[in-house]
Structure 1
């Protein structure tokens, strides 16, 4: 790919060594945008993530590629860090326009397939049941029941996400001619989240081991959401927070020279950021255990947890995410033997052990 700058595009950043990022907007979201990375290969440009499925996002992606002297039709492949719609949303359109392949970890491909094949009301029924079991009040459950009755499930993102046609195998090099990009499985944010390690000397000779495309796993100033892995048909008791903490330590040992995340900005000293996040979660677990001096439902625990705003100012949908995060922390406390379920409760409550 030849970089032939046309009119200035402020959303494009050059990172050197045949790597660029494009700020693709996320509509009505405080994150603002997803950083879609463009990797030059001997077979043509490859995208790492694609951005949200929205006309303005598509236009921004197309404009950014044009500023690099290429186009959507030239894309050779798409590597997806995880299945969330701000990362995977435009993948199908890119493939339709270019014939590019799409690669994703099998665990997240399963999520995409399951969501595509689900009956319209399955997820609303599941969410309603989960929130009921978590102790959500009736006034929170009522809109879900109304949405189920009206069929509005069809308007939610992710219901028609593209099925990948290649599998990202942890530890393997991706088949990119002229580049060494290795998949690092980092579950936690999603069950199939991957980081991608560019095993090449940093273009500015920064100390460390290459560069890491970190998706949402490692961000410079945000703690990614860690909730439950949702599968209505699977009764396995997962430990997403434990998975995430283990994955953080894997990245710390890797010690990349620079991290290229999917939000915010590139940064160095990944081990220091990992230690900050490990400390944050340990502090949070200790704080939640202190709250559990009195038995609480997951909903009651979420109400008392510290968020970026008071509970009564958290939007409706974000409360569902908050409760899922509270449950993920509860599962970790139970697994560590620092909390336990109180028998016989309906809804179930938990208390410090």
Structure 2
């Protein structure tokens, strides 16, 4: 059975499965335009996901071959994964923000060896123990998922209306989850006349019950000191000012009251930062901080790959605290330790 939800006024969503992932599925949106249907995200590049996408499009009266364009909220494989297959089937254009296009281009040009070397150096600098780093030294010939994502052929320019005849869809740059994440504001009256300004396709930026992962922007060749958590918090406030009547996220379900959800997320991150300052009463490396942070399960039950993600999230929070002047690196420590100010 194909799971299609009609959100009214030419907007439908399809639940496209993500293999072996607790999120379960990506909500792919089908937006009718005067030149044919346009997709917002596409789902993971997987045979079952492709079959589900094709069946969902058939239930909407179209097919992969009938797609006019693909708008990608961000480069992650559960959003961008099937874009290339859709383009092959239909000749559709693929649009993405330039910052995430750069990530896609770099990913296509970087082999697994470079990635494993980068992760080895990164985790060593974060203070990871040798038993955690050792597998990376011997995994050089493994293939990694998502190493050949489709290269987009259109750039999403923040603040501009996308070229979708018959619709008003404006790009809102919301970095944080990725450097080029965009939300898409459908500047049309809500079909049920809910109070607020149109509808917002929020990707992973704003979800009803999940706090999106905010880690460091991974670029082996860029030494720029970024502040992804600061970017995310600023982006949340930008979205709140839009005051959409309804949010159409890429996971879970549609919801209203954007302002309340934004306030919850801002409060969550401030509480988390304050809690980390308590931990930093004693100097800690990013790895040691991650070990002591509160996750959805005890540290010894967190899988290997998820520990890497957790360390990246700890580092993003450290960057924010350092930028705010609430924590600092301890001079002369290697791996570098941080302490509250």
TM bin (shorter chain): over 0.9
Q: TM-score, normalised by structure 1?
A: 0.96
User: What is the match of residue 24 of structure 2?
Assistant: 32
> 1:146, CA displacement in angstroms?
1.2
Rounded Cα–Cα distance in structure 2 between residues aligned with 1:320 and 1:236: 20
Q: Give CA deviations for 1:254-303 in whole Å, capped at 9, x if unaligned.
A: 00000000000000000100000000000000000110000000000000
Q: Give CA deviations for 1:151-187 in whole Å, capped at 9, x if unaligned.
A: 10xx212210000000000000000000000000000
- Equivalent residue for 2:117, pick from 117, 125, 128: 125
- Contact 1:245/1:278 (CA < 8 Å) preserved in 2? yes
Q: TM-score, normalised by structure 2?
A: 0.99
User: What SS does structure 2 have at the residue aligned with 1:38?
Assistant: strand
User: What is the match of residue 15 of structure 2?
Assistant: 23
User: What is the match of residue 161 of structure 1?
Assistant: 149
5+ residue gaps, structure 2, are: none
- Equivalent residue for 1:302, pick from 290, 293, 304: 290
- Contact 2:112/2:144 (CA < 8 Å) preserved in 1? no
User: What is the match of residue 174 of structure 2?
Assistant: 186
> 1:84, CA displacement in angstroms?
0.1
User: What is the match of residue 230 of structure 2?
Assistant: 242
- Give yes or no for the alignment of 1:12 onto 2:1: no
Rounded Cα–Cα distance in structure 2 between residues aligned with 1:112 and 1:139: 31
- Contact 1:112/1:158 (CA < 8 Å) preserved in 2? no
> 1:18, CA displacement in angstroms?
0.3
User: What is the match of residue 128 of structure 2?
Assistant: 136
Aligned counterparts, 1:327-346, within 5 A = 327-346=315-334
Rounded Cα–Cα distance in structure 1 between residues aligned with 2:21 and 2:112: 25
Q: What is the alpha-carbon root mean square deviation over aligned residues? A: 0.6
> 1:120, CA displacement in angstroms?
2.9
Aligned counterparts, 1:1-353, within 5 A = 9=2, 11-148=3-140, 151-152=141-142, 155-353=143-341
Q: Give CA deviations for 1:195-233 in whole Å, capped at 9, x if unaligned.
A: 000000000000000000000000000000000001111
| Count of aligned pairs between the two proteins | 341
